[in-house]
A and B are shown apart, each in its own frame.
Chain A
C-alpha cells in the first residue's frame, strides 16, 4: 500500500446541477491499487451521487474540492474521457438502448478505447467478447440481445459486469449493484466481480451499497459510512457488521447531537 493512491478525493462538494441542493458536503477518500472499499449509508446520504460525480454525470455540479485519478485531475474530463482513462461505473439503473446489440455497443466502446487511428480487428474483438462471456458463464446469444431492452433486473446487472470485463477498468465503481437482485443473481454477479478482481489484482473497486448483504460476497478491505454527504466513519470490514446490528440510526442521531 505504499503506492500512490489510484483515486484521491479531497474536500469534494457537489450539488444538483439546476438546483441549489447540496448533496456532497466535503468528502475525503483515497483508494490504492487493488483495494476494495465499500461505502455504506442510508438512502439519500449521497453515496450514489458520489459514484455519479466520479463518472461525470451531467446532472451534478462540483462546487469545491479535487479529485485525482492516477495523479491527474479527473473533474475536468468528459464522461467518455474518464472511461478511457480507466473508470467504470456499474449503473444502479442501466439504461436500455433499443435496436443496439450488446456486441455492437461493446465493439463501439472498445474501438473508442483504442488510440486514435487504430482500427479494431473485428475477429479479435469477437474472440475476446466470447471469452469474456464464457468466463462470466453467459450464453453467446446474450451478446445479440439489445442493450438492457426487456432485461430482467439480474440480466441488467450481469450486462454491467460483462461490460466491465470487456473494458478492464483500473477503477470500478459499483453503484448499488445488489439492488433488485435475488440471492442467486447476487451470487452470480458478485462471482463475476471477484473473478475480474482476481484476474486484475491492481483494479480498485468502490462498492456503494445500502445493505451489508453484498459485502458477504465482495469482501471489502475498507468500509466507510456516509451520512448526509460526509464520510462519518472509516474502518475495516467489521464496521459493516456493526451497521447490520445497529443500523444507521445511531449515526444519524450522532450527527444530530454533534450538530446541536
Chain B
C-alpha cells in the first residue's frame, strides 16, 4: 500500500506513465495513447518564435519537468466532507439536469435526472463510456475534434488523460437545465489531464457547464483540459468553462466544436483564476445553417496572464459565427487575444464576426489584441475589431462624486463592461452563476 502510494507520487510525465494510465484499457485506446505520446515526443515545445505563442513564453511560465501525474486518493461522496469553497460553488448551481463532481480527477459524485436517463441521455466518466459506448467514443475521442496532431498539449493530453466526462444526448432530447461538472483540485505540483466529450445528436438540446476550482497552490500545478463538442444536425449546444483555480495553477485548455447543419454550438470561457491561462478554441462550422456564438470573459489582477487563441473555421457555406471576448485587467495582469476567422473555399454567404475588448484598470496592466481574417470566398460578411480602453479618471471621478468609494466605482464599471457578454448568453441557468463569481472576484480585491 505504502509502496504503491510512493510510486504514484513520483510518477513523472513520461512514456512509462502512458503505459500505467492505460493498463486496463482496450487495445485500440492503448494504441491511441501510444500514438499520441509519439506525436508529443516528435512535436517541439512551442516557443515565442511561433506566432501563436509569441506572448506566452513557456520556458518561463511552465516547468513540465517538475510536474508529477496526480495520484491523490479518492475523496468520499459525502458533500459534508467537501471543502467550503466547493460547496459554495455548487450552492450557486441551483438548477441542474445532471451533475458530476470530480475530486482530484476522481469522479466522486454522479447524478442525472431519471427521466432523462430513461430517454437515453448518458452522463458518465469517459472510462465507463469506453466500455459502454465504445462506438461513439471510438469515433470521436481525439480523432476529429482534438487529435494529438493539434499541438504539443493536445498530444500530451491525448496520451495521459486520466479523468474524463462523456455526455451523449440522443436525437430530439432536450435538457432544460444545464449539466454541471465541478472539478476540485488539491495536489500542489501535480499535472491533471482531463477530457470532455460531448455528442449531441440530431435536434437535441443541452447546456454544459464545466467549472474548475481550487485553492492556491504552493508549487506550480497544471490542469490540462481537452474538450470535444459535436453538435449533429439541428442540435443546440452550449459549452461553458468557468475557470476559478487558485494562484499557482497553469490552466491549459484545448477546445474544439464541430457544428453540423442547422445546429447552434455556442461557447463561453470565463477565466478568473490561475496564474496562467491558455485557451485554444477552434469552432468549425461544418454544415449550412450552423451558427456559433463564442463568448469570453476574463478579469485579471496581480501577475495573472491570459492567452486566448481562437479560430472560426467556416468550412461550410451559409453558416455564422460571432465571437465576443471582453476582459478587465488590474494590477500587473496581462491578456493576449489572438483570433482568426477562416472562410474556406466555397463557404459563400458566411457571416463571421470577431470582437475583443479590454479595459485596463491599472497603468501596469497590458492587453494585446491580434484579430485576423483569412477569406477564400467572395460573398461573405466578415468583420473584426479590437479595443483596449482605460478606466479614465473622468469616469472614476464621476462615479466617486456620487459617493462611491474608488473600489466600488471600479467594480461598477467592470461589471457594466463585462455585462454585455452575460446579456448574450442564450441558454438559462448560467448568467446568474457567472455574475456571482465575477462579483466574488471583485469583492476579493477590496
Given contacts A99-B417, A99-B419, contact A108 B412 (CB under 8 A): yes
Give the CA-CA distance A80 to B398 in the complex, in Å: 10
Question: Across the interface, which residues of B come within 8 angstroms of A229, CB to CB?
Answer: none
Give the CA-CA distance A99 to B412 in the complex, in Å: 9
A83 and B398 contact, CB distance less than 8 A: no
A80 and B404 contact, CB distance less than 8 A: yes
Question: Across the interface, which residues of B come within 8 angstroms of A71, CB to CB?
Answer: none
Nearest 9 CB-CB pairings of A with B: A99-B416, A100-B416, A83-B403, A79-B400, A95-B398, A109-B402, A99-B419, A112-B403, A80-B400
Interface residues of A (CB under 8 A from B): 55-59, 78-80, 82-84, 88-89, 91, 94-95, 97-100, 104-105, 108-109, 112-113, 146, 163, 167
Give the CA-CA distance A109 to B403 in the complex, in Å: 6
B393 and A59 contact, CB distance less than 8 A: yes
A97 and B415 contact, CB distance less than 8 A: no
Nearest neighbor of A90 in chain B, beta-carbon distance: B401
**Which of B393, B400, B408, B413 counts the most A-chain CB atoms under 10 A from its CB?**
B400
A167 and B420 contact, CB distance less than 8 A: no
- Give the size category of B's interface with A: 20 to 34
Which chain B residues (368-406) contact chain A, with CB distance < 8 Å?
A: 393-395, 397-406
Question: Across the interface, which residues of B come within 8 angstroms of A82, CB to CB?
Answer: 401
Give the CA-CA distance A83 to B400 in the complex, in Å: 8
Majority DSSP secondary structure for residues of B touching A: helix
Give the CA-CA distance A89 to B399 in the complex, in Å: 11
A80 and B393 contact, CB distance less than 8 A: no
Known: A97-B413, A98-B416, A146-B416; 7 extra A-B contacts, CB below 8 A, are A78-B405, A80-B409, A91-B398, A91-B401, A95-B394, A100-B415, A100-B416
Taking the nearest CB of chain B, how far is it from the CB of A254, in angstroms? 35
Question: Across the interface, which residues of A come within 8 angstroms of B420, CB to CB?
Answer: 98-99
B403 and A167 contact, CB distance less than 8 A: yes
B402 and A167 contact, CB distance less than 8 A: yes
Question: Across the interface, which residues of A come within 8 angstroms of B400, CB to CB?
Answer: 56, 78-80, 83
Question: Across the interface, which residues of B come within 8 angstroms of A78, CB to CB?
Answer: 400, 405-406
**Which of B395, B402, B419 counts the most A-chain CB atoms under 10 A from its CB?**
B402
Give the CA-CA distance A100 to B404 in the complex, in Å: 14
Give the CA-CA distance A112 to B404 in the complex, in Å: 6
Pick the residue among A57, A98, A146, A163 that contacts B397 (CB under 8 A).
A57
B412 and A105 contact, CB distance less than 8 A: yes
Question: Across the interface, which residues of B come within 8 angstroms of A108, CB to CB?
Answer: 404, 408, 412
A83 and B395 contact, CB distance less than 8 A: no
Give the CA-CA distance A57 to B402 in the complex, in Å: 12
Question: Across the interface, which residues of A come within 8 angstroms of B394, CB to CB?
Answer: 95
Taking the nearest CB of chain A, how far is it from the CB of B393, in angstroms? 6
Give the CA-CA distance A186 to B408 in the complex, in Å: 33
Question: Across the interface, which residues of A come within 8 angstroms of B412, CB to CB?
Answer: 97, 100, 104-105, 108
Question: Across the interface, which residues of A come within 8 angstroms of B399, CB to CB?
Answer: 97, 105
